[in-house]
Amino acid sequence: MSQTQPLIIDCHGHYTTAPKALENWRNQQIAGIQDSAAKPKVADLKIGDDELRESIESNQLKLMKERGSDLTIFSPRASFMAHHIGDFEVSSTWAAICNELCFRVSQLFPDHFIGAAMLPQSPGVDPKTCIPELEKCVKDYGFVAINLNPDPSGGHWNSPALTDRHWYPIYEKMVEYDIPAMVHVSTSCNPCFHTTGAHYLNADTTAFMQCLQGDLFKDFPTLKFVIPHGGGAVPYHWGRFRGLAQEMKKPLLQDHLLNNIFFDTCVYHQPGIDLLTQVIPVDNILFASEMIGAVRGIDPETGHYYDDTKRYVAATPHLTPDERYKVFEGNARRVYPRLDAALKAKGQ
Ligand SMILES: [Zn+2]
């Protein structure tokens, strides 16, 4: 089905512009790990609806209107998840606060934002402890996805691979609720890896390779992962991955992984989007910008914001109008069935 004017769905947005009170509360919480007298109560954080509205209207929503995107799948700020800080109780309290703020934004701007949850992951803690927060976000908040951190250690990679049974409790819930996970790390506390320039892209590449080595989707044929930031190094090295799969006697990547893995368009220049759309089948590409995020400046070569990715998707010669509809809208409806249902309930 093609439409001349697709709905522009941005599947990758974070609340990077939350009122300063949130960061202050988090700093207090971190101080409280060493000094319990400093530990803040959840009720100490007070952010009014007007503050929330202002933080969105003057930032994400303003840019969405300028650039012509309609709806953002909106999750807590990724670098602030920092699952490596404190224990499960710290992560749990923090995740609940951050998810609630995204829920409130989705309530204030229901036509423009719908939530995706961060999970209260904590290094060495069984992922099944994340289930209550996940359930609340889906059932009570109407969230349509989760962000899953494959490395809650923050750059030390001491969790089992994503294909390990360790993660299965989360996958079972994802399948039950029919929600995808964006595989998304957080701040690197390993100085060898710059957070957004190395750790994020490494994690994207690593997640794909873990799935290639394993047979996860035999156990979960309907499980869906969105690998952000254009899939890290994957599209650029597609030949290497095809060759590795062949040597490992795995099926063709098309059959082995591409029913379950999708890449977003958070690639901040035209040649990158051209490569992505030339190499990766169109059914596996989802429009996203991750604005206002890692790269906030203007490209002097083009005079436009690096993260204005709609411009590159519109300009690439490798997509027909029908294929562009898939990237902007159709694929998101398929990968995020709860988003599709929410739109249909509103007559969209
Ligand atoms: Zn992100």
- The pLDDT of residue 93 is above 60: yes
Ligand 1 centroid to residue 176 C-alpha, Å? 25
Pairwise CA distance, residues 22 & 31, whole Å:
14
- Long-range pairs of 43-48 with CB within 8 A, sequence gap ≥ 24: 45/21, 45/97, 46/21, 47/18, 47/19, 47/21, 47/22, 47/101
- The pLDDT value given to residue 23: 98
The whole-angstrom separation of Cα 117 and Cα 128 is: 15
- Give per-residue pLDDT as tens, 151-196: 999 999 999 999 999 999 999 999 999 999 999 999 999 999 999 9
d(Cα 63, Cα 60) in Å, to the nearest integer?
5
Above 80 in pLDDT, residue 219? yes
CB atoms near residue 62 (< 10 Å): 12
Exposure class string for 2-15: b at 16+ Cβ within 10 A, else e: eeeebbbbbbbbbb
Instruction: Calculate mean pLDDT across residues 255-278.
Output: 98
241-251 residue pLDDT tens = 999 999 999 99
Q: Has residue 4 got a pLDDT over 70?
A: no
Distances (CA, A) of 306 to 81, 202, 205, 273, 298: 24, 20, 22, 12, 6
| Ion ligand 1: residues, CB < 5 A | 78, 290
The pLDDT value given to residue 5: 86
Residue type for 57, please?
A: E
The model's pLDDT over 285-304, given as tens digits with 9 standing for 90+, comes to 999 999 999 999 999 999 99
How many residues belong to the chain?
348
- Tell how far the Cα of 102 is from the centroid of ligand 1, in angstroms: 14
Rounded to the nearest angstrom, the distance between the alpha carbon of 42 and the centre of ligand 1 is 25
234 in Cβ contact with 241 (< 8 Å)? yes
Provide the pLDDT for residue 241: 98
CB atoms within 10 A of CB 273: 26
User: What's the gap in Å between 75 CA and the centre of ligand 1?
Assistant: 8
Across the range 29-53, mean pLDDT stands at 97
**Which strands sit side by side in the sheet containing 9-15, from one edge to the other?**
9-15, 71-76, 113-115
Residue 224 to residue 294: CA distance in whole angstroms: 25
Which one from 100, 133, 290, 323 is the annotated catalytic residue?
290
Q: Compute, in angstroms, the gap from residue 232 CA to the centroid of ligand 1.
A: 12
Q: Is 135 labeled as catalytic in the residue annotation?
A: no
Q: Confidence class of residue 254 from pLDDT cuts 50, 70 and 90?
A: very high
- Ligand 1 centroid vs 78 CA: distance in angstroms? 6
Please state, as a whole number, how many other Cβ atoms lie within 10 Å of the Cβ of residue 239. Answer: 9
pLDDT of 255 > 70? The answer is yes
Span 83-89, average pLDDT:
98
Residue 1: the pLDDT is 47
The maximal CA–CA distance of the chain, rounded, in angstroms, is 61
Distance between Cα 7 and ligand 1 center (Å): 21
Q: Which two tokens stand for residue 335?
A: 């990968």
How is domain 9-16+49-345 classified at the CATH fold level?
Answer: TIM Barrel (3.20.20)
Q: Is the pLDDT of residue 2 over 50?
A: no
pLDDT(68) > 80: yes
- What span, in angstroms and rounded, lies between the C-alpha atoms of 13 and 73? 6
Q: Which strand (E) or helix (H) includes residue 261?
A: strand 261-264
Alpha helices in 186-308 (DSSP H): 200-213, 216-219, 238-247, 253-256, 270-279
Beta strand extents in 45-168 (DSSP E only): 71-76, 113-115, 117-118, 146-148
36 CA to centre of ligand 1 in angstroms? 32
The answer to whether 166 and 129 are in contact (CB under 8 A) is no
Tell me the CA–centroid distance for residue 38 and ligand 1, in Å.
31
In the predicted model, what is the mean pLDDT of residues 105-131? 98
Gap from CA of 35 to ligand 1 centroid (Å): 32
